Structure 1
Amino acid sequence: MTHDLITMGRISVDIYPNDIGVGLAEVSSFGKYLGGSPANVAVAAARHGRRPAVITRTGDDSFGEFLHHELRRYGVDDQWVAPVSALQTPVTFCAIRPPEDFPLYFYGRSPSAPDWEIEADELDTAAIAEAKIFWSTVTGLSRPTAREAQVAAHQARPQASLAAGQHTILDLDYRPMFWDSVEQAREQVQRILPQVTVAVGNSEECAVAVGEGTPDEQADRLLAAGVQLAVVKRGSEGVMAATADERVISAPLPVETVNGLGAGDAFGGALVHGLLAGWPLEQVLDYANAAGALVASEIACSEAMPTPPAVAEMLTARGRAVPEEVTA
Structure 2
Amino acid sequence: MQVIDPDTDPRSEPSTGPHDVITMGRIGVDLYPLQAGVPLAEVGTFGKFLGGSATNVAVAAARLGRRTAVISRTGQDAFGDYVHQALTGFGVDDRWVTPVPGLPTPVTFCEIFPPDDFPLYFYRLPKAPDLVIHPDELDLDAVAAARVFWMTGTGLSEEPSRTATLAALAHRARTGPTVFDLDWRPMFWTDRSRARTAAGDPGGVPPAGPELGPEGARPYYAEALRHATVAVGNLDEVEVATGEREPAAAARALLAAGVELAVVKQGPKGVLALSASGERAEVPPLPVDVLNGLGAGDAFGGALCHGLLAGWDLERTMRYANAAGAIVAGRLECSSAMPTPAEVDAALAAGAVR
TM-score with structure 2 length normalisation? 0.87
In the alignment, which residue of structure 2 is the partner of 1:265? Answer: 298
Q: Are 1:299 and 2:315 matched, yes or no?
A: no
In the alignment, which residue of structure 2 is the partner of 1:247? Answer: 280
In the alignment, which residue of structure 1 is the partner of 2:136? Answer: 121
Q: Are 1:169 and 2:183 matched, yes or no?
A: no
In the alignment, which residue of structure 1 is the partner of 2:251? Answer: 219
- The Cα of 1:158 is off from its aligned counterpart by 3.4
- Counterpart CA distance in 2 for 1:204 and 1:254 is 23
- The Cα of 1:213 is off from its aligned counterpart by 3.2
Q: Report the AA paired with residue 77 of structure 1.
A: D
Q: Report the AA paired with residue 192 of structure 1.
A: A
| Runs (5+) with no aligned partner, structure 1 | 161-165, 320-328
What SS class does the counterpart of residue 15 from structure 1 fall into?
strand
- The Cα of 1:188 is off from its aligned counterpart by 1.1
Q: Please point out which of 11, 19, 22 is paired with 2:35.
A: 19
- Counterpart CA distance in 2 for 1:90 and 1:97 is 23
In the alignment, which residue of structure 2 is the partner of 1:323? Answer: none
- The Cα of 1:186 is off from its aligned counterpart by 1.2
What SS class does the counterpart of residue 68 from structure 1 fall into?
helix
- The Cα of 1:144 is off from its aligned counterpart by 1.7
- The Cα of 1:182 is off from its aligned counterpart by 1.3
- Counterpart CA distance in 2 for 1:171 and 1:216 is 18
In the alignment, which residue of structure 1 is the partner of 2:67? Answer: 51
Structure 1 range deviating more: 226-235 or 180-189: 180-189
- Counterpart CA distance in 1 for 2:56 and 2:106 is 15
1:129-278 paired onto structure 2 within 5 Å: 129-160=144-175, 166-179=176-189, 180-244=212-276, 245-278=278-311
- Counterpart CA distance in 1 for 2:148 and 2:231 is 13
What SS class does the counterpart of residue 79 from structure 1 fall into?
strand
- Counterpart CA distance in 2 for 1:120 and 1:185 is 20
Q: Report the AA paired with residue 21 of structure 1.
A: G
- Counterpart CA distance in 1 for 2:180 and 2:318 is 17
In the alignment, which residue of structure 1 is the partner of 2:5? Answer: none
- Counterpart CA distance in 1 for 2:351 and 2:114 is 23
- The Cα of 1:254 is off from its aligned counterpart by 1.8
- Counterpart CA distance in 2 for 1:27 and 1:112 is 27
Tell me, yes or no, if the aligned pair for 2:28 and 2:105 is still in contact at 8 Å. Answer: yes
- Counterpart CA distance in 1 for 2:249 and 2:238 is 10
What SS class does the counterpart of residue 254 from structure 2 fall into?
helix
- Counterpart CA distance in 1 for 2:333 and 2:174 is 37
- The Cα of 1:251 is off from its aligned counterpart by 1.2
What SS class does the counterpart of residue 93 from structure 2 fall into?
coil
**Deviation by residue 1:262-320 (Cα, 9 ceiling, x = unmatched):** 0000000000000100011100000000000000000000010000000000000018x
Tell me, yes or no, if the aligned pair for 2:73 and 2:100 is still in contact at 8 Å. Answer: yes
- Counterpart CA distance in 2 for 1:159 and 1:184 is 25
Q: Identical aligned pairs, as a percentage?
A: 59
- Counterpart CA distance in 2 for 1:103 and 1:212 is 25
1:83-102 paired onto structure 2 within 5 Å: 83-102=99-118
- Counterpart CA distance in 2 for 1:72 and 1:120 is 25
- Show structure 1 runs of 4+ deviating over 4 A: none
Q: Are 1:288 and 2:321 matched, yes or no?
A: yes
**Deviation by residue 1:127-156 (Cα, 9 ceiling, x = unmatched):** 001001110000000002000000110011
Q: Report the AA paired with residue 131 of structure 2.
A: W
Tell me, yes or no, if the aligned pair for 2:153 and 2:221 is still in contact at 8 Å. Answer: yes
Superposition CA RMSD, Å: 1.1
| Runs (5+) with no aligned partner, structure 2 | 1-16, 190-211
What SS class does the counterpart of residue 187 from structure 1 fall into?
helix
Tell me, yes or no, if the aligned pair for 2:74 and 2:98 is still in contact at 8 Å. Answer: yes
What SS class does the counterpart of residue 144 from structure 1 fall into?
coil
Q: Count residues with an aligned counterpart.
A: 314
